[in-house]
Amino acid sequence: MKYKKKIHEKTLNDTKSIREDAEKIFISLRDNICKNLEEYENKSSKRQEKFQVNRWVRNEGGGGISSILRGSIIEKAGVHFSTVYGELPAGALNDEKSDVCDFWASGISVIIHPQSPHIPSAHLNLRMIATDKYWFGGGADLTPMLKIKRSEKDKDTVLFQKYLKSACDGSSIDEYDKFKKNCDAYFYIKHRNESRGTGGIFFDNYKSRNSSRDLSFLKQVGHNFIEAYKIIIEDNIEKKWTKKEKEEQLHFRGRYVEFNLMYDKGTLFGLKTGGNVDSILSSLPPLVSW
């Protein structure tokens, strides 16, 4: 393996407080999201499921907290925080500029597959990456499972987008429209000519001149994601479902698997670079039919 660059001592020092703040934000979001999801399970009389928490250490540097909930309302949720650093394999970021160097990366990923076909699946990812420069990436998107709800105009999606736009506006980030288009372009299942979900926001290689504002934006996206999702749960939780609707959900979850295993950069990056397979694939739905 050839190394063109290393993270300079200077870069590490320059970004120290930003990196520390980013980590704090991710950990705080992780705790808050886990708490909120567990509350739905505690409301349910059937079971009182808790997140199974696995703290892990990465031999090459760093570690994380993987948390998986399997409940009766939240059929499966994965909430993962990690900070990792060390040597980055050539081309791993699919970015000429980062080929090849040391790296530092911290982030949170959340995926929620609810039991009810009426409640959409939802996904959040926020990250900060530093090589000889640094940037932010991430996004949030919604995937309704019933055909009747798979439209930008669906009530849940409208609400979800409103909260994400508010996260942009509230942090004076003027790129909501661009981030929304990025999301549609990214979560696209080419071989089906179908979108995975109904939208959200997606950004990468993002950095403004104001890192405090960028961090506040990340925090707000995470916060608004779970606040919007709580309302979406509440709006749908009392609805009964038919056997046919359950079948439609299991069938459409197949699309989710197809996207994640064939196109999702994070999943493929993780699996190719020897990441924790069970954490990475915890994004896959609990039960799927084809």
170/140 Cα distance (integer angstroms) = 16
Q: Which is nearer to a copy of itself, 68 or 146 (CB)?
A: 68
Q: What single-letter amino acid sits at 80? A: H
**Considering the complex, what minimum distance in angstroms separates the CB of residue 272 from a copy of itself?**
7
6 binds a copy of itself (CB under 8 A): no
Minimum CB separation from a copy of itself for residue 229, in Å? 21
Vertex 156 angle, CA 247 and 39, to 5°: 80
The answer to the question of residue 285 lying near a copy of itself (CB under 8 A) is: yes
Structural tokens at position 177: 């429209």
Nearer to a copy of itself, 115 or 282 (CB): 282
**Tokens of residue 191, six digits:** 């071989």
Closest separation in Å from C-beta 271 to a copy of itself: 4
Q: Which of 123, 191, 223, 251 is catalytic?
A: 123
Question: How many residues bind a copy of itself, per CB under 8 A?
Answer: 21
Q: Does 271 bind a copy of itself (CB under 8 A)?
A: yes
- Which residues between 76 and 95 bind a copy of itself (CB under 8 A)? 76
Check binding of 288 to a copy of itself (CB under 8 A).
yes
Catalytic status, residue 80: no
* Cα–Cα distance measured from residue 122 to residue 140, given in angstroms and rounded to the nearest whole number: 7
Please name which of 270, 253, 130, 268 lies closest in space to residue 196, comparing C-alpha atoms: 253
185 interacts with a copy of itself by CB under 8 A: no
Query: What distance separates the 2 farthest-apart alpha carbons in the chain?
Result: 60
Nearer to a copy of itself by Cβ, of 39 and 247: the residue is: 247
Alpha carbons 170 and 148: distance in angstroms, whole number: 32
Binding mask 216-255 for a copy of itself (x = CB under 8 A): ----------------------------------x---x-
Helix H, strand E, coil C: the string for 17-61 is HHHHHHHHHHHHHHHHHHHHHHHHHHHCCCCCCCCEEEEEECCCC
Residue with tokens 């909260």: 163
> Which residues are near a copy of itself by CB under 8 A?
76, 191-192, 250, 254, 257-258, 261-262, 271-272, 277, 281-282, 284-290
Catalytic residues: 123
